Amino acid sequence: MVRLFIAIPIPEEVRAKIKDLVRDLESVRGLPKNIRFAPAENWHFTLTFLGYQDELVVPAVKKSLTSILASDVNNNIEIQFEKLTYGPPGRTPRMVWLTTTKATSATLGRIKDDIEKELLKSGVKWRRENRPYQAHLTLARFPAQSAEDLPTIEQDVNWEYTAGEINLMKSTLKRTGAEYEIL
């Protein structure tokens, strides 16, 4: 069994900007003492989390992705970041997120739906998430904490890039955190 998800990677030039943002964030007074920042190599947009799958499913998933990427509509995806904030919205904060614009979330949500339709046609089974897709990068995690107890970190971020790939990823959980590998 392998733990799989489908993701859009972050290019190195955008990673460098995010690293600067995180460096500034790490010096903010009042952040939870046990906050864990995600390593830069783990930053990505998860489109679909497939969970644990038999390795025999991998070719079907790759075929589904190839089919989706053959469409010009799903190539050169414009990603526009919007703000640094706590997440998830509307709930007790437990993460630091770098969110995208609503237009980016809508575009990625449509691509996610297209991928999932192809996966279903290929017979791949997983636990589907039915809430609207909200694109974000998780930069840090901490135990759930009241928003009133957290320092203000929210700031506008106006970066953008064109994503040219969607990857099938393998996730291996270790004591030190998840390790990802592009399949």
What ranges do the domains of the chain cover?
2-182
Measured in residues, the chain has a length of 183
HSE-up of residue 151 (Cα within 13 Å, Cβ side): 12
The pLDDT of residue 89 is 87
Show the tokens assigned to 4.
């799989």
Sites in the chain below the pLDDT cut of 50: none
Helices 102-121 & 58-69, crossing angle to 10 degrees? 130
Instruction: Give the CATH H-level superfamily of domain 2-182.
Output: Cyclic phosphodiesterase (3.90.1140.10)
Question: CB of 155 within 8 A of CB of 7?
Answer: no
The pLDDT of residue 177 is 80
Comparing C-alpha atoms, which of 118, 133, 113, 123 is closest to residue 53? 123
For 112-147, the DSSP string reads HHHHHHHHHHTT-------SPP--EEEEEE-S---G
Pairing assessment for the beta strands 155-156 and 95-100 based on DSSP bridges:
unpaired
121-134: b (≥16 Cβ within 10 Å) or e: eeebebeeeeeebb
The pLDDT of residue 182 is 94
The pLDDT of residue 67 is 84
**pTM for the predicted model, two decimal places:** 0.89
With residues binned 3-state (H G I as helix, E B as strand, rest as coil), the percentages for the chain, rounded to 5, are: 30, 35, 35
Residue with tokens 């790490």: 26
The pLDDT of residue 158 is 93
> Mean pLDDT across the chain, nearest whole number?
92
The pLDDT of residue 176 is 81
d(CA 49, CA 69): 18
